[in-house]
Structure 1
Amino acid sequence: MAKRTIPLLPLRGILVFPYMIIHLDVGREKSISALEEAMVQDRLIMLATQKDAQNDTPEPEDIFSIGTVAEIKQLLKLPGGTIRVLVEGLHRAEIEEFVSFEPFYQVAIQEFTEVETKTPEIEALTRTVINQFEQWVKLSKKIPPETLVSVVVVEEPGRLSDLIASHLSLKIEDKQALLDAVSANERLEKLCEILGREMEILELEKKIHVRVRKQMEKTQKEYYLREQLKAIQKELGEKDDRSTEVEEYRQRLEEQKLPKEVAEKISKEIDRLEKMPPMVAESGVIRTYLDWLLSLPWTTETNDRLDINLAEEILEEDHYGLEKVKERILEYLSIRKLTEKMKGPILCLVGPPGVGKTSLARSIARSMERKFVRVSLGGVRDEAEIRGHRRTYVGALPGRIIQGMRTVGTKNPVFLLDEIDKMSADFRGDPSAALLEVLDPEQNNSFSDHYVELPFDLSRVLWVVTANIMHNIPRPLLDRMELITIAGYTEEEKIEIAKRYLVPKQTADHGLTNEQIIFSEGTIQKVIRDYTREAGVRNLERNIANLCRKVARRIVQGKGTSIKITAQNLHTFLGAPKFRHTQAERTDQIGVATGLAWTEVGGDVLAVEISTMKGKGKLTLTGQLGEVMQESAQAGFSYIRSRSAELGIDEEFYEKMDIHIHLPEGAIPKDGPSAGITMATAIASALTGKPVRSDLAMTGEITLRGRVLPVGGIKEKVLAAHRVGIKKVMLPKENKRDLDEIPANVKRSVEFIWVEHMDEVLKAALVSEG
């Protein structure tokens, strides 16, 4: 070891080993000064590498302490002030201290002299290193074979390891670790380790390269064969089905003006189909998906007919009555005429079967000149029926909503969701919950179907929903719809509907003329009263069709050319009457009061009979009464008992008498809160001995304090009273608001008595003595 002081040249991103000859480009002022000083002296310079190559002004701590003493062989000044210098590494040295810093780094170094000692261990390491280096050269192919030969012939282990290290592409940290190893033994061990690691990396690179090359060869081969096949088909005049199909899809895409998001999705799927081999099963899935996307009406709309007067004429022409629904449609058309931004309404028509809910939706579409689509929800219990299936499932399809939109071909049809109250839920999900997105005006502008996977705008659709019973519709769903109740038709309305629509339709359907079948006055009314009991007109139409068939047969058999059907000969065609309507009592009777009831097929009168007998105060209820009606009877009985003194009844009657309340026609179940005042009046009549007016019918609920509460179905109940000839109807005062629904001719012929308390009921209903 020897010590000396020489200039220092810090190196950036490079490291010089002993015995290594290399060109260096020097540009920093301090480095140039160090070179000039070395040239003046003995051409020797200390080369040490910086820890950070980006640092332009390194401090002593930023430079590795061990470097190489090199001799400057050649020095050449380049344009721009840069100097190119050729140096040869001589031996290792360690920087002991920095003697001066300006105008260049002058350092005191301790030189290491190489001691070449050959031991069996060094010999083994040398052979290993040579063997590994030879393999590395073969794998990397970065060094020519001649260089390999010149390296391998070196006998000194230390010099050999330095030569090999100078040819390897290593990180500065790894090279510095080899430079730091002063002894040949340590240097060879580290070189073995580094070469072993580099070999592993090269092996992996080779495997990856082979795999990639095979894949590329396969792809190129397929491409070449495919191009050959295309050329052969072109020569034969045949077309490639796959390319033709892809071209057709692209042409369809260009022809349609689709939203950007949809067009991008379709284009992406077409590219996938084009790149996919023909026999892959998924190609069929993509084709079906593309067919669906390209056939949906993303932007297609029909123009609404905004002639309000003409729409009103069409609605009147198709349907008799139903003023609320017609008014709502005309309001919507009026707003559409003023603004284009109006969202489609969601109408929920609730009413009994046969009142024209479904046909009304068709009339709405005809009046607006919109297309019509109907989806029946009866029995639907799978959420996928509404939202569709995921495309990953075999046989996946969109839901009924998207299917309906594709069928109709426009984004603003009249869409009928029929029988929404007959949906149910099971383990496959709740379809009513899926319908929330469809029927929510705030959400349906971006309806998401599981199959389509793109938002579809349903806000332009005019939704019409039908149901028979309101309480079967889930509450959140009902909250999003505009409820319109169609209670049913009065007898007068049914007669008009039969004359205007049903008779002409059935006559034409059966090939008859107005001269061959004649309906006399009163015939239709008798059919309605004796052969049908319904809120709608379905059975009425069925009976008219039955009459047409009987007449057609007689005409064909030559039994007449013109047959008149009258109220007197009706039974010969339709048989004996199927129904009878309860008739009003003709005389005032004790313990018998006439009540009014509402049923799903319209209103009816209901007689309440009370019988008293000696006993122990037992209250018996018969006539198949429901729980609500039984409670009304109990409440009426308790009220009468609390007012026994004012009514002149023995205050201990409940201990001496049994009371039996009976409603005739016991085979028919009866329930509801509207018979409370009727039963209380009948009990009061039976206990006081005062008869109840026979020309009076009543309805209303009673409380224990005697208050009369309002009830529903007023229109149907008043019509039932009018039908059986009752002249006076007693109603709760709070039901005055329902008077507007009652036809004017009925209001003129019936006297209404409005009551708030049970005392008023008894005063008006019981016949005074004398």
Structure 2
Amino acid sequence: MITKTEQLLILPVISLRGMTVLPGMVIHFDLNREKSVQALEYAMMKSGRIFLVTQKDPGVDVPEEEDLYRVGTISAVKQITRLPNKIVRVLVEGIGRGILHETNKENTKFLEGYLEQVSDEWPKEDEMEQEAMLRQLREYFAAFAAHYPKLDKNAVQRYAQIHSIGKLIDQITMNLPVGYEKKQEILEMISIKERYEILCTHLLNEIEIARVREDLAGRMRERVDKNQKEYLLREQLRYIREELGEEGSFSDADQFEEALKALEASDEVKEKIKKEITRFRNVMGSSSESAVERAYIETLLELPWDHASKDNESMKRAKNILEKDHYGLSQVKERILEFLAVRCLTKKGESPIICLVGPPGTGKTSIAKSVARALSKKYVRICLGGVRDEAEIRGHRKTYVGAMPGRIAAGLKQAGVKNPLMLLDEIDKVSNDYKGDTFSALLEVLDGEQNVRFRDHYVEIPLDLSEVLFIATANTTQTIPRPLLDRMEVIEVNSYTENEKFHIAKDHLLGKQMEKNGITKQMMTIQDGALKNIITYYTKEAGVRELERKIGDICRKSAKEILEAREADEKQESVRVRVTASNLDKYLGKRKYSLDKANKEPQVGIVRGLAWTSVGGDTLQTEVNMMPGKGDIELTGQMGDVMKESAIIGMSYVRSIGEKYHISPEVFKENDFHIHIPEGAVPKDGPSAGVTMATALFSAITGKMVRSDIAMTGEVTLRGRVLAIGGLKEKILAAKMAGLKEVLVPADNRKDIEEISEEIKEGLIITYVKDMKEVLKHALL
């Protein structure tokens, strides 16, 4: 059993900051606090012994009793040295443990405490247990010392001579590289067995920490050795290449590695490029494989993996740019502004895939360029017209000679950012052949769920196309496969009205052509009347391309006229050309087109129909003649199969209602009917001429006249129902230009008429009809 002295000792107390003194420990430390110095001096005058106890908080300058640990070390003062600045250096030796019961409150000069000294004598009857503990502790310390070569080499041998377990525990604790808190924990353990258990735990932890540390150090050493080896091998390889005259290949690899460090890309991409650079180093510089590898690495380094441009987030700026660049096209502008609003709110937003569908010359391509400017995006145009090889989209595999990335990857490389605006121009002109289905390759590009990891055969590493804003253009959706069309948001870009063409010509085309031909505003003016006549009598198109050419013709002829006038009279420097409606034929020649105006008087068997063409709307007269014969029907005017069927359906309908209108069945047996649509050289097809043919047949058979100021469109059924048709905006525009008063439209097309601007509908009576009875009621006199 551990015995305690029954009588309390009274000793001066010195509080230690950040250190713990153990029994048997010889150490020196500095004192500068007044109370500590006085306590030391008092100890020297008395027994030369002092009680050293650790502070709980090292930051306390004047510690009280509650700021000290309860267990400390009774020590003997061996030496005192006085240093400058009132610092005293003291050398002490720990004698034994002491328990502080209380301090002497009456002593205000220094700390003085009542102590109980603890003895570490081990009971003689437990000698076997003490021996076992001694051996185990020495074994643990030997294992610990093996990991710390800086420890005293003789410590293991010295500890073998210690036969007191308490003394051995204190000696080992002194040499442990642990904080004073853990040493204080061992010091406070009065029971030797508990002290032994804690020390063993600390030793085992330190041994494990040392093993882990050595393992980490070994790995680092291996890595350093590997890098050193690689450096030496590279230096040797450099020398060999210099001797062979291939030092250029090595410098290229170095440049690639420098470019790789600056590349904005994921670790996966960088690792792949690094492997390719290593492969390039090992290929002979003169071989064809070296050239292929070099081109591949250059492509990978030039692709914008994680480099993106900052989009414009100003709705006002985007709106102003779109309004300035384009007149009309409100639906397209509204959709782009919606996209910008979503992007601003979500800070990301999925990039839509917009397909602009409309006739040639309506500004689809220039819209995409304006959208890129409005959103501050890089602009890339990819022309798909005539592309028939799948490799044009997906790229060629590297194994082929002359392999290169596909147009999508090349477009990203050209843009230099991963979020450009990419225009897929003429997507309806893509064709297929034995080399692959090009449309199917486009499916992955234009599918928002798949293009996050688009695989180009040449690049091989997946490309992220989710942030690319795709805009496709097409003249028609009929040649685009349904699965591809389903992935795009189709926006119709319809034909321009005369008023829209006039504003486009005045605000955009005129200034563009004058600048192109070196003409200033002081040299030439084109009056508004002249512009309107160019639109009406010299162009016939849905867009404004031909209109721009005509304005260009005027500018060139004006430039010639100005220079000739200056040469004729050198003093006449300021020559001004004025183009008016009256002198327009001087610059453009005779009028090319004339307006197909409404008939002056009602006629029998002639009905005005409305048609949609690739250059806009038009009016077509359907003529029917009835003559003696055998009941045959003759169709002329280059009608397509659908239009021919409409003529047969119209005749069947008229025959079905013959009895109601007192038409003898013999009329259909004894007469032939000839249906003709003028402009026979122009192919025509579609179901919308059904009501026109049926009305013309009915008029010719009954002899009733058809109003000259009315036009109609709609598909007819055998029972006389009128079905909806398309292209209404262009057809209504054609009726207005022809000077007609009323247009008969299928009732199912009411929603389409409501979307047409009032500018087009103004001055026209639009009548909705459900069946042929209503058509005949409005059309016949």
User: Compared with structure 1, are the counterparts of its residues 321 and 228 closer, same or farther at alpha carbon in structure 2 (3 Å cutoff)?
Assistant: closer
2:592 to 551, 555, 578: 578
In structure 2, how many angstroms separate the alpha carbons of the residues matched to 1:732 and 1:704?
16
Alignment of 1:723 with 2:737, yes or no, is yes
**1:179 alignment counterpart:** none
**2:625 alignment counterpart:** 611
Q: Secondary structure at the match of 2:387?
A: coil
Of stretches 606-615 and 329-338 in structure 1, the one that deviates more from structure 2 is: 606-615
Residues 643-654 of structure 1 aligned to structure 2 (within 5 Å)? 643-654=657-668
Give the Å deviation of 1:698: 0.6
Alignment of 1:471 with 2:485, yes or no, is no
Alignment of 1:519 with 2:526, yes or no, is yes
**2:777 alignment counterpart:** 763
User: Compared with structure 1, are the counterparts of its residues 633 and 271 closer, same or farther at alpha carbon in structure 2 (3 Å cutoff)?
Assistant: same
Q: Deviations over 1:561-595 (max 9, x none)?
A: 22222222211211122223322101111111111
In structure 1, how many angstroms separate the alpha carbons of the residues matched to 2:729 and 2:513?
30
1:631 to 642, 645, 665: 645
Give the Å deviation of 1:228: 9.4
In structure 2, how many angstroms separate the alpha carbons of the residues matched to 1:521 and 1:279?
68
Q: Output the amino acid matched with 1:230.
A: Y
Residues 643-682 of structure 1 aligned to structure 2 (within 5 Å)? 643-682=657-696
Q: Secondary structure at the match of 2:668?
A: helix
Q: Deviations over 1:75-123 (max 9, x none)?
A: xxxxxxxxxxxxxxxxxxxxxxxxxxxxxxxxxxxxxxxxxxxxxxxxx
Tell me, yes or no, if the aligned pair for 2:246 and 2:285 is still in contact at 8 Å: no
**1:381 alignment counterpart:** 388
Q: Output the amino acid matched with 2:313.
A: L
2:450 to 419, 443, 448: 443
In structure 2, how many angstroms separate the alpha carbons of the residues matched to 1:582 and 1:550?
30
Q: Output the amino acid matched with 1:565.
A: V
**1:483 alignment counterpart:** 490
Alignment of 1:551 with 2:558, yes or no, is yes
In structure 2, how many angstroms separate the alpha carbons of the residues matched to 1:399 and 1:496?
41
Q: Secondary structure at the match of 2:389?
A: coil
Tell me, yes or no, if the aligned pair for 2:382 and 2:423 is still in contact at 8 Å: yes
Number of residue pairs aligned between Structure 1 and Structure 2: 543
**2:751 alignment counterpart:** 737
**1:314 alignment counterpart:** 321
2:239 to 211, 226, 230: 230
User: Compared with structure 1, are the counterparts of its residues 588 and 409 closer, same or farther at alpha carbon in structure 2 (3 Å cutoff)?
Assistant: same
Tell me, yes or no, if the aligned pair for 2:241 and 2:247 is still in contact at 8 Å: no
Q: Deviations over 1:524-557 (max 9, x none)?
A: 2211122111111000000000011111111110
In structure 2, how many angstroms separate the alpha carbons of the residues matched to 1:350 and 1:684?
38
2:437 to 430, 436, 454: 430
Q: Output the amino acid matched with 1:227.
A: Q
In structure 2, how many angstroms separate the alpha carbons of the residues matched to 1:249 and 1:315?
42
User: Compared with structure 1, are the counterparts of its residues 640 and 389 closer, same or farther at alpha carbon in structure 2 (3 Å cutoff)?
Assistant: same
Q: Output the amino acid matched with 1:665.
A: E
2:376 to 364, 369, 377: 369
Tell me, yes or no, if the aligned pair for 2:540 and 2:615 is still in contact at 8 Å: yes
Alignment of 1:496 with 2:510, yes or no, is no
Give the Å deviation of 1:474: 1.9
Q: Secondary structure at the match of 1:668?
A: coil
**1:245 alignment counterpart:** 252
In structure 2, how many angstroms separate the alpha carbons of the residues matched to 1:619 and 1:232?
89
Alignment of 1:355 with 2:359, yes or no, is no
In structure 2, how many angstroms separate the alpha carbons of the residues matched to 1:753 and 1:242?
79
Give the Å deviation of 1:697: 0.7
User: Compared with structure 1, are the counterparts of its residues 361 and 267 closer, same or farther at alpha carbon in structure 2 (3 Å cutoff)?
Assistant: same
Give the Å deviation of 1:634: 0.9
Alignment of 1:397 with 2:404, yes or no, is yes
Q: Deviations over 1:229-248 (max 9, x none)?
A: 739979xxx99434433322
Q: Secondary structure at the match of 2:354?
A: strand
In structure 2, how many angstroms separate the alpha carbons of the residues matched to 1:475 and 1:467?
14
In structure 2, how many angstroms separate the alpha carbons of the residues matched to 1:523 and 1:253?
61
Tell me, yes or no, if the aligned pair for 2:626 and 2:700 is still in contact at 8 Å: yes
In structure 1, how many angstroms separate the alpha carbons of the residues matched to 2:264 and 2:658?
82
Q: Deviations over 1:654-692 (max 9, x none)?
A: 012222212122222221111111111111111222111
Tell me, yes or no, if the aligned pair for 2:238 and 2:250 is still in contact at 8 Å: no
Q: Output the amino acid matched with 2:504.
A: I
Q: Deviations over 1:164-209 (max 9, x none)?
A: xxxxxxxxxxxxxxxxxxxxxxxxxxxxxxxxxxxxxxxxxxxxxx
TM-score (norm 1): 0.68
Q: Secondary structure at the match of 1:303?
A: coil
Q: What value does the CA root-mean-square deviation take over the aligned residues?
A: 2.1
Give the Å deviation of 1:277: 4.2
Q: Output the amino acid matched with 2:297.
A: L
Q: Output the amino acid matched with 1:395.
A: G
Give the Å deviation of 1:609: 1.3
User: Compared with structure 1, are the counterparts of its residues 600 and 260 closer, same or farther at alpha carbon in structure 2 (3 Å cutoff)?
Assistant: same
Give the Å deviation of 1:511: 1.5
2:711 to 697, 705, 718: 697
Q: Deviations over 1:1-59 (max 9, x none)?
A: xxxxxxxxxxxxxxxxxxxxxxxxxxxxxxxxxxxxxxxxxxxxxxxxxxxxxxxxxxx
Q: Secondary structure at the match of 2:762?
A: helix
Alignment of 1:417 with 2:440, yes or no, is no
TM-score (norm 2): 0.67
In structure 2, how many angstroms separate the alpha carbons of the residues matched to 1:592 and 1:658?
17
Give the Å deviation of 1:370: 0.6
Residues 81-230 of structure 1 aligned to structure 2 (within 5 Å)? 227=236, 230=239
1:340 to 322, 343, 347: 347
Give the Å deviation of 1:280: 4.2
User: Compared with structure 1, are the counterparts of its residues 259 and 693 closer, same or farther at alpha carbon in structure 2 (3 Å cutoff)?
Assistant: same
Q: Output the amino acid matched with 2:780.
A: L
Q: Output the amino acid matched with 1:590.
A: V
User: Compared with structure 1, are the counterparts of its residues 657 and 455 closer, same or farther at alpha carbon in structure 2 (3 Å cutoff)?
Assistant: same
Tell me, yes or no, if the aligned pair for 2:605 and 2:697 is still in contact at 8 Å: yes
In structure 2, how many angstroms separate the alpha carbons of the residues matched to 1:741 and 1:554?
47
Q: Output the amino acid matched with 1:341.
A: K
In structure 2, how many angstroms separate the alpha carbons of the residues matched to 1:608 and 1:271?
76
Unaligned 5+ residue runs, structure 1? Answer: 1-219
User: Compared with structure 1, are the counterparts of its residues 766 and 226 closer, same or farther at alpha carbon in structure 2 (3 Å cutoff)?
Assistant: same
Give the Å deviation of 1:319: 0.8
Seq. identity, %: 51
2:513 to 477, 481, 506: 506
**2:727 alignment counterpart:** 713
**1:262 alignment counterpart:** 269
In structure 2, how many angstroms separate the alpha carbons of the residues matched to 1:720 and 1:593?
15
In structure 2, how many angstroms separate the alpha carbons of the residues matched to 1:746 and 1:391?
57
Q: Secondary structure at the match of 2:706?
A: coil
Q: Secondary structure at the match of 1:613?
A: strand
User: Compared with structure 1, are the counterparts of its residues 418 and 745 closer, same or farther at alpha carbon in structure 2 (3 Å cutoff)?
Assistant: closer
In structure 2, how many angstroms separate the alpha carbons of the residues matched to 1:739 and 1:308?
30
Q: Output the amino acid matched with 1:676.
A: G
